[in-house]
């Protein structure tokens, strides 16, 4: 029996935002959109404001490739849905004392969009959400690798497909899936955020020459 092919790149979902606000760095507030500039992001996270899709993260079990971008933000930062769709699950995570929201986008039943490590979740399982609708807030983290009253949010976008008898998953860098009306603006703001962050730290932490697109070290990765 022939296995189903992996999702074709032409069958791509469209996102309308990246879940949080980007903006121009303001030295008066020390913020760029929702990102608060701080020198207290630990070496474990490469001192970055955000980890790119495809970034390598080393832990006790070895090195993993991140199938999502990770944003380091103050707790309570509002998080909004990148797509219109139906909430498939709101999963409580006891180990981190927070939630993951999974949305099935309208018209794309094989795709999933998740926002992980959030609290004060507004929609319930089965509810419909609109693109840009506030759905939760950034959860506080107990990790010493981020400043007090900070947390992180992971935006993961993946497609499910059959391979022999198994269900496979393939994640795509969300920044590649943005609607043309916002894609260029987001790309410029991501690049500028990385540059301004490095200027603030007075050190290089991003290898933009390795990006396949702003914020993406890879196009796809296995979750």
**Spatial separation of the C-alpha atoms in residues 186 and 21, rounded to whole Å:** 10
3-state secondary structure the chain: CCCCCCCCCCCCCCECCCCCCCCCEECCCCEECCEECCCCCCHHHCCCCEECECCEEEECCEEEECCCCEEEEECCCEEECCCCEEEEEEEEECCCCEEEEEEEECCCCCEEEEEEEEECCCCCCCCEECCCCEEEEECCCCCCCCCCCEEEEEEEEEEEEEECCEEEEEEECHHHCECHHHHHHHHHHHHHHHHHHHHHHCCCCCCHHHCCECCECCCEECC
| Burial class (CB within 10 angstroms; exposed 0-12, middle 13-18, buried 19+) of 110 | middle
pTM: 0.92
Q: Where are the domains of the chain?
A: 25-221
pLDDT, residue 11, reads 64
Span 42-68, pLDDT tens digits: 888 999 999 999 999 988 888 999 999
pLDDT, residue 5, reads 47
Residue stretches of the chain with pLDDT short of 70: 1-11
pLDDT, residue 60, reads 83
Q: Give domain 25-221's CATH architecture.
A: Distorted Sandwich (2.70)
């Amino acid at each position: 029996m022939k296995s189903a092919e992996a999702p074709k790149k032409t069958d791509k979902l469209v996102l309308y935002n990246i879940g949080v606000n980007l903006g121009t760095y303001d030295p008066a507030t020390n913020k760029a959109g929702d990102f608060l500039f701080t020198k207290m992001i630990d070496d474990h996270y490469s001192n970055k404001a955000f980890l790119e899709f495809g970034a390598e993260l080393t832990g006790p079990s070895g090195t993993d490739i991140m199938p999502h971008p990770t944003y380091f933000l103050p707790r309570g930062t509002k998080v909004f849905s990148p797509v219109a769709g139906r909430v498939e699950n709101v999963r409580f995570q006891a180990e981190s004392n927070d939630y993951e929201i999974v949305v099935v986008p309208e018209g794309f039943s094989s795709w999933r969009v998740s926002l992980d490590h959030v609290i004060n979740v507004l929609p319930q399982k089965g509810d419909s959400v609109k693109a840009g609708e506030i759905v939760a807030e950034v959860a506080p983290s107990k990790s010493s690798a981020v400043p007090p009253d900070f947390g992180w949010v992971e935006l993961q976008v993946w497609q499910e497909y059959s391979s022999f008898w198994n269900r496979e998953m393939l994640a795509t860098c969300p920044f590649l899936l943005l609607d043309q009306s916002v894609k260029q603006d987001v790309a410029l703001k991501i690049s500028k955020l990385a540059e301004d962050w490095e200027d603030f730290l007075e050190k290089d932490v991003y290898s933009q020459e390795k990006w396949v697109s702003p914020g993406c070290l890879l196009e796809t990765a296995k979750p």
